[in-house]
Amino acid sequence: MDELHASDPSRIGGHRLLGRLGAGGMGVVYLGRTDTGALAAVKVILPEYAEDDDFRARFRREVEAARRVESPWAVPVTGAGTEGERPWLATAFVPGPALSEAVARCGPLPARSVRVLGRLLSRALASVHAAGLVHRDVKPGNVLLTVDGPRLIDFGIARAVDATALTATDLLVGTPGFLSPEQATGGGTSAGPASDVFSLGCLLAYAATGRPPFGSGAAEALLYRTVHDEPDLDGVDDPELRALLGTLLAKDPAARPTAAQLDGRIVEDAPDGSVDWLPEDVVRLIADRSAAMLALPEIDATVTEEPATAVPRPGRRGLLLLAGAGAVAAAGGGAFAVREWLRDDPDASGAAAPGERAWIIGVQADLSGPGSAAGRAQERGVRLAVERFNSRADKPFTLRVKTRDDRGEAARAVRVAEQFTRDRDVLAVIGPTGDPATGAVLAAYDEAMLPLITVSSLQIAYPARSKKSFFQAAPTDATLSAPIISRLVLRPDVERLGVLLDRSGGQSAYQVGYLTNMNVGLLTTGTAYPRVVPTGTRDFAPVIADMLAHASDAFFYAGDTAGAARTARALAATPFKGPRMAMHTAMDAGFLKDAGESAETWEFTAPYIDATAPRAKEFTAAHRARFGGAPGHWAAEAYDAAGLVVAALAALTKGAQRPARAALVAKIAASTYEGVSRTYAFDESHRLKGSDAYLYRVRDGGYHYLGPAPKTGT
């Protein structure tokens, strides 16, 4: 990034300008920061163009068009001023390297990376096309890489399909080597959505081989080869990928799939927030950019070992729009996360000076194992909380997030814990995701007195002899039985609760099932009828028949997803019409799929709040703005856990003095924190006080949030 020139404005459209990201024929792109702390790429049009009425009309259309594009894989427009003296357009700032740079530095990408790129960029293009636009310059330089996925940028030359007058027909728009045959022969007006698909094919071939498929060199020769020659796909060994590229690069536009069809044709899971879709050296390239980012004055970014943030190479050619989901949350005021802290402590301010030790919140999560959906959601929650904290002008220190993946495996979890505990810059760790990892690491965290706050390890006891630094910021399995009983038994039509404990569900199911059965008689005037089935049971019909024969008029299943689906089907085959419930461990897409229509009316209690809950509204909006999608389950709880730690940290910190880990443990233990999901306070064993849980119900093939689960005796 270059420094501002003397002639540059210091503010534009509510953005304080921090430096120049690039300059081109029509204007300059600045890195700006909004008053709420969000970073943005602000494109400001040169005065000579601004005075041109035609240009201004075109710019206005560009802005309108760009605002219609809604995709997590395309950069969002965050603001624009089309009528002032100096028209400007702001987009969220994405500090990732361009695909062109990544391939140039690190070589061709593996087939999986290329498929992920293809799938996500096809979604971005589908969204562009749905808005009635054609991008016209899909190329590796216009795709930025982040760990979450790619971002399609530069709508500077995107034009509405019907806006033909704006481009001279003999003007070549786009980049030779990535142009479609129809663009090569017909000029600017002949490009349609199918042309973007062809360009995407060129881009993916480039990513897979390191070369444009029609070679390089003089523009005319390139264009000729594009029209007449077969693409060069040598080196694409994956037969499926090769065939796919062949269809994208069909000479006849009508023979190519649409962007929307392409999304469905590529069988590759979206990365969903993890870095495993990119090769390690590309991840490292992104990491290097993070470091560069941190070195810039006045820019606070979160870093991670597998970072999501990086800074762009300055001075890239043309009108470079560095945009997309930024390093700092784009929307909202940043105030709701850490509501109550600092408000009455105006002296605590001043960012950490350069060279000072880092203040790090660790995330130990399962990012690639059986609990990866929860782990990734939690990582995002923590990130959002920390970024919101960092965006405050009066923050007393700047926090960073460091994430380590333990895959949910005990052995790996121990190594992760060793790394975190040895790193004296780490103040607290959010995690682990699951019980096996938690059980394995408690001793290490205890010895280091490093605060460890889990939101999804719910076992009521772990083997560790001592776990003084460990907090369970969610109701344990033991307390989750109470809302289940309240929902199922405290109703006039239920006298006897059938409890089916399936050992396939492991400890979590055992504890919830066992205690639900035990507590029915303690909490209500009803009775329970328990049955237990061994791991691997497939035929539930005989057990269910026995439970119904013993007058069970409500039904609770404690076990795993597969067993819940079989139980649902078996129960649906009986005349039973009563209420039926399972626990959150079975509440996933697999249950809906495997149970089919039998899933209807099943209810679930879960410790996690839903994105649609009224009290999560602000959080959900901020999450969408930051990550381009609704928060997954456990994101809000991890956000709360991070907020709780930050509040405790802020309360302990005087000046630039770091609190000791043990002091932070004590402060957290004594905290009462109002979060998105619930109010957090801990008992002497550092377990969450209370048994607040949430209710979900299956309706029309989906999970619907019903609200907080009822409490007993209230």
**Minimum Å distance from CB 522 to other proteins?**
4
Does residue 544 bind other proteins (CB under 8 A)?
Answer: no
**Minimum Å distance from CB 200 to other proteins?**
46
**Minimum Å distance from CB 470 to other proteins?**
14
- Report which DSSP code applies to 476: -
Among 221, 291, 411, 461, binds other proteins (CB under 8 A): 461
* Nearer CB in complex with other proteins: 304/481: 481
Ranges within 656-695 binding other proteins (CB under 8 A): 690-691
Scanning 345-353, 417-425, 524-532, 668-676 for contacts with other proteins by CB under 8 A, the matching segment is 524-532
* Nearer CB in complex with other proteins: 296/490: 490
Q: What is the CA radius of gyration of the chain?
A: 28
Scanning 200-208, 461-469, 592-600, 611-619 for contacts with other proteins by CB under 8 A, the matching segment is 461-469
Task: Report the DSSP beta bridge partners of residue 702.
Answer: 699
Q: Alpha-carbon distance 230 to 215, whole Å? A: 11
Does residue 714 bind other proteins (CB under 8 A)?
Answer: yes
Nearest to 469 by CA among 428, 437, 508: 428
**Minimum Å distance from CB 501 to other proteins?**
7
Ranges within 476-505 binding other proteins (CB under 8 A): 478-479, 481-482, 485-486, 499, 501, 503
434 touches 368 (CB < 8 A): no
Task: Report the DSSP beta bridge partners of residue 555.
Answer: 498, 580
* Nearer CB in complex with other proteins: 384/452: 452
383, two tokens: 């990130």
Scanning 71-79, 473-481, 668-676, 698-706 for contacts with other proteins by CB under 8 A, the matching segment is 473-481
* Nearer CB in complex with other proteins: 279/436: 436
Among 529, 591, 604, 696, binds other proteins (CB under 8 A): 529
For 372, counting Cβ atoms within 10 Å of its Cβ (0-12 exposed, 13-18 middle, 19+ buried), the class is buried
197, two tokens: 């698909």
Does residue 533 bind other proteins (CB under 8 A)?
Answer: yes
Tell me, residue by residue from 338 to 357, as one string, x for binding to other proteins by CB under 8 A and - for no binding: --------------------
* Nearer CB in complex with other proteins: 61/711: 711
Q: Alpha-carbon distance 409 to 442, whole Å? A: 14
Q: Is 137 a catalytic residue?
A: yes
672 touches 416 (CB < 8 A): no
Q: Alpha-carbon distance 216 to 43, whole Å? A: 30
**Minimum Å distance from CB 693 to other proteins?**
11
* Nearer CB in complex with other proteins: 43/503: 503
Q: Alpha-carbon distance 381 to 397, whole Å? A: 20
Q: How many CA atoms, within 13 angstroms, populate the side-chain half-sphere of residue 564?
A: 29
Tell me, residue by residue from 232 to 251, as one string, x for binding to other proteins by CB under 8 A and - for no binding: --------------------
* Nearer CB in complex with other proteins: 25/463: 463
Question: What are the φ and ψ backbone dihedral angles of 365, each rounded to 5 degrees?
Answer: -140, 160
Q: Kind of pairing, strands 554-558 and 359-365?
A: unpaired
Q: What is the dihedral of CA 100, 106, 108, 109, to 10 degrees?
A: -100
Does residue 460 bind other proteins (CB under 8 A)?
Answer: yes
* Nearer CB in complex with other proteins: 130/460: 460
85, two tokens: 């003296």
Q: Alpha-carbon distance 687 to 462, whole Å? A: 12
Does residue 511 bind other proteins (CB under 8 A)?
Answer: yes
**Minimum Å distance from CB 370 to other proteins?**
13
Q: Which residues are CB-neighbours of 147 under 8 A, at least 6 positions away? A: 271, 273, 274, 275, 278, 283, 286, 306, 307, 308
* Nearer CB in complex with other proteins: 101/692: 692
Helix 561-572 to helix 541-549 angle, to the nearest 10 degrees? 60
Q: Alpha-carbon distance 91 to 157, whole Å? A: 15
Residue 81, SS3 per DSSP:
strand
Residue 134, SS3 per DSSP:
strand
Task: Report the DSSP beta bridge partners of residue 51.
Answer: none
Does residue 605 bind other proteins (CB under 8 A)?
Answer: no
* Nearer CB in complex with other proteins: 535/657: 535
Does residue 712 bind other proteins (CB under 8 A)?
Answer: yes
142, two tokens: 């216009």
**Minimum Å distance from CB 414 to other proteins?**
12
Among 88, 389, 510, 576, binds other proteins (CB under 8 A): 510
Does residue 534 bind other proteins (CB under 8 A)?
Answer: yes
Q: Alpha-carbon distance 293 to 1, whole Å? A: 10
588 touches 690 (CB < 8 A): no
Ranges within 156-195 binding other proteins (CB under 8 A): none
* Nearer CB in complex with other proteins: 552/653: 552
**Minimum Å distance from CB 455 to other proteins?**
19
Size of the site for other proteins (CB under 8 A): 45
- Report which DSSP code applies to 70: -
Cα→Cα distances 570→401, 538, 546, 599, 611, Å = 46, 10, 12, 11, 31
Among 169, 216, 261, 535, binds other proteins (CB under 8 A): 535
* Nearer CB in complex with other proteins: 258/712: 712
**Minimum Å distance from CB 582 to other proteins?**
18
Ranges within 430-459 binding other proteins (CB under 8 A): 436, 439, 443, 459
How many residues can be counted in the chain?
A: 714
**Minimum Å distance from CB 593 to other proteins?**
26
Does residue 412 bind other proteins (CB under 8 A)?
Answer: no
Q: Alpha-carbon distance 275 to 668, whole Å? A: 31
**Minimum Å distance from CB 525 to other proteins?**
14
Does residue 462 bind other proteins (CB under 8 A)?
Answer: yes
361 touches 400 (CB < 8 A): yes
Q: Kind of pairing, strands 673-674 and 679-680?
A: antiparallel
Task: Report the DSSP beta bridge partners of residue 399.
Answer: 359
Question: What are the φ and ψ backbone dihedral angles of 527, each rounded to 5 degrees?
Answer: -125, 170
Q: Alpha-carbon distance 474 to 311, whole Å? A: 37
**Residue tagged active-site, from 53, 137, 229, 405:** 137
**Minimum Å distance from CB 362 to other proteins?**
24
Scanning 214-222, 243-251, 527-535, 692-700 for contacts with other proteins by CB under 8 A, the matching segment is 527-535
Interface contacts to other proteins, rule CB under 8 A: 436, 439, 443, 459-465, 478-479, 481-482, 485-486, 499, 501, 503, 506-507, 510-511, 514-515, 517-519, 522-523, 528-536, 690-691, 711-714
Give the residue numbers annotated as catalytic, written as ranges.
137
